[in-house]
Amino acid sequence: MKKYLFLLLLTSLWACKKDFLNLTPDTSLSSASFFKDKGQFNQALIAAYVPLRTLVHTAIYMDEMRSDNAFFTRYGANRGLETSTESLAEFLDDANSSAQQNSPGNRYGNDYSGIAMTNTILTRIAGVDFAASAKDSISGEALFLRAYYYFDLVQHYGGVPLQLDEITAAAQAFKPRNTSEEVYAQIVKDLTSAIPKLPVVTSFPQSGRASKGAAKMLLAYTYMSQAAKNYAGAETELMDITRMNYSLLPDYASVFDPNNKNSSESIFEVQYMADLVSGQQSNFAWIMIPKTLNSEVLTGYHGSTMNIFSGWDVPTQEMVDSYETGDKRLSASIGVVEGKISGVEDFTAIDIKSPVNFTPVAGQTNIYMVKKYFHPPYTVEFNTPDDWPIFRYSGALLLLSECLVQEGKSGQALIYLNQVRQRAGLAPLAEATMDDIANETRHELAFENHRWTDLIRIGKAIDVSNAKGVRLKALYGWLIPASFNVNANKLIFPIPARELQINTLLTQNPGY
């Protein structure tokens, strides 16, 4: 019997041969077995879009709430990680803040994650045999995405290490910082290479993938954001966009309706869907509603909103008051939640109303909320279908207006400025100034994560932020004196401490 078992085992081992030691399941893929055909490169490209989702979420806290558009509702019961997130809006964050490295998102790390994905695609695609047209399409999108991730980095951290090839050894991952000028130059190079490879959008709804218009919009922003402005170059790119197939939707509020995703007004937006299965949903509406005991009054679904996930990106009173009379964008962008406070600060919602001609009811508390991404009823908590707009055609028209005024062509700028104003229900202006355009851009792109970097680009971020601090300190006694002491160092964020520990060749930004 023992002899029989031995022979059976020997026969089994012989039959297995080398496969006996192959421990990798047949369903597993590695970089060595992947990147073999167009389909696999396209899958990798789709994955390279995914970090955009974390970036727009993080920017709610690091951009919009840092600007004069919004702040947050302080809830005394949440004094854990919430304080770190609040520090971003108060200009109290530093390199060790958990908000810089974890919650609400590791912006620095997610940008480089996207860059690593695009680098792998761009490094490997030349060595694989499939149609040149398909290679151009994939590499064009990858170049756009790499440029976008580097643009996000340089705007928020200054000069960062340029990684332009697939990393295959640990030593390749550690580089010193390049200058901001070098990063901007690389962005221009990538976009200049991408634009001829990308399609012009000809039908709507579009696919949601990068297009020639999106690349030209990013290139124009790059030209106008770098230290040495290139307004002539930006004008060329933006004028090209006006000759494409984009147009303003007749109704401002409809731009943000999930039924109008990727419309003719959309140049580029981050894609989401709420199918309750794939995990591809957004959650902006839940972040921006007030902390309530009865969220079903607002959302149609009872969820646990008395927690750290709600009560953010709250429009400031100054922002609400800044809208011109008759501006249709006010009621489309902002709502007023009426309710009552019980105990110390527990809020029970009663109704949501328009801020236009709003009259408070005695004995009630009223809280503003961003309404753009709010399209109830919902059936699952933190599960919404709304996309996030990155570039819109109205934004292109306003950026072109800004560019033309900077070139001394205010008469031409007025044409594009008034197109946006008239859609908002406002009378056309007789002249276009930088203040007019900045004001129009603020209200047109409100709560879309543009205001903070717009203020930096036009040189007003320090004054506007300090003025916001004065107003808020008069309202909230819990704001400490060190908050809102904004200087040039605060125009960019610290390199996260973890990155400095990992890469000893990095240096910290001044003031941190």
Compute the distance between CA of residue 33 and CA of residue 86 in angstroms, rounded to an integer.
45
Residues 224 and 366 in one domain: no
Is residue 403 within 8 A of residue 224, CB to CB? The reply is yes
12 occurs within a structural domain = no
Compute the distance between CA of residue 449 and CA of residue 111 in angstroms, rounded to an integer.
16
Residue where a domain stops, chosen among 363, 383, 403: 383
For 370-423, write each residue's pLDDT tens digit: 999 999 999 999 999 999 999 999 999 999 999 999 999 999 999 999 999 999
Residues 371 and 411 in one domain: no
26 occurs within a structural domain = no
Tokens of 488: 């040039």
Residues 428 and 448 in one domain: yes
| Residue type (1 letter), 56 | V
Residues 162 and 65 in one domain: yes
Residues 219 and 358 in one domain: no
471 occurs within a structural domain = no
449 occurs within a structural domain = yes
For 450-481, write each residue's pLDDT tens digit: 999 999 999 999 999 999 999 999 999 999 99
What lies within 8 Å, CB to CB, of 219 at 6+ separation is 187, 188, 191, 192, 195, 233, 234, 237
Residues 65 and 133 in one domain: yes
Compute the distance between CA of residue 114 and CA of residue 111 in angstroms, rounded to an integer.
5
DSSP-assigned letters across all residues of 42-69: HHHHHHHHTHHHHHHHHHIIIIITTSTT
For 108-126, write each residue's pLDDT tens digit: 999 999 999 999 999 999 9
190 occurs within a structural domain = no
Residues 378 and 396 in one domain: no
Q: Which residue in the block uniquely carries the two structure tokens 């960062």?
A: 160
Residue 187 has pLDDT above 70, yes or no: yes
451 occurs within a structural domain = yes
339 occurs within a structural domain = yes
DSSP single-letter state for residue 171: G
330 occurs within a structural domain = yes
Residues 55 and 76 in one domain: yes
> Which domain CATH number covers 222?
1.25.40.390
For 235-267, write each residue's pLDDT tens digit: 999 999 999 999 999 999 999 999 999 999 999
Q: Where in the sequence is the domain holding 38, given as residue range(s)?
A: 34-183+483-512
Residue where a domain stops, chosen among 383, 416, 435: 383
Q: Give the 3-state secondary structure of residue 291.
A: coil
Residue 33 has pLDDT above 90, yes or no: no
Residue where a domain stops, chosen among 383, 415, 448: 383
Helix (H), strand (E), coil (C) string for 293-346: CCCHHHHCCCCCCCCCCCCEEEECHHHHHCCCCCCCHHHHHEEEEEEEEECCCE
Residues 418 and 341 in one domain: no
- Position 124 scores a pLDDT of 96
For 316-344, write each residue's pLDDT tens digit: 999 999 999 999 999 999 999 999 999 88
Cα distances (angstroms) measured from residue 371 to each of 27, 99, 187, 337, 410 = 44, 25, 34, 11, 33
Residues 346 and 407 in one domain: no
Compute the distance between CA of residue 77 and CA of residue 478 in angstroms, rounded to an integer.
14
Angle, vertex CA 319, rays to CA 390 and CA 242, nearest 5: 35
Q: What is the mean pLDDT of residues 127-152?
A: 97
For 207-230, write each residue's pLDDT tens digit: 999 999 999 999 999 999 999 999
- Domain count of the fold of the chain: 3
Residues 97 and 152 in one domain: yes
pTM: 0.92
Residues 414 and 307 in one domain: no
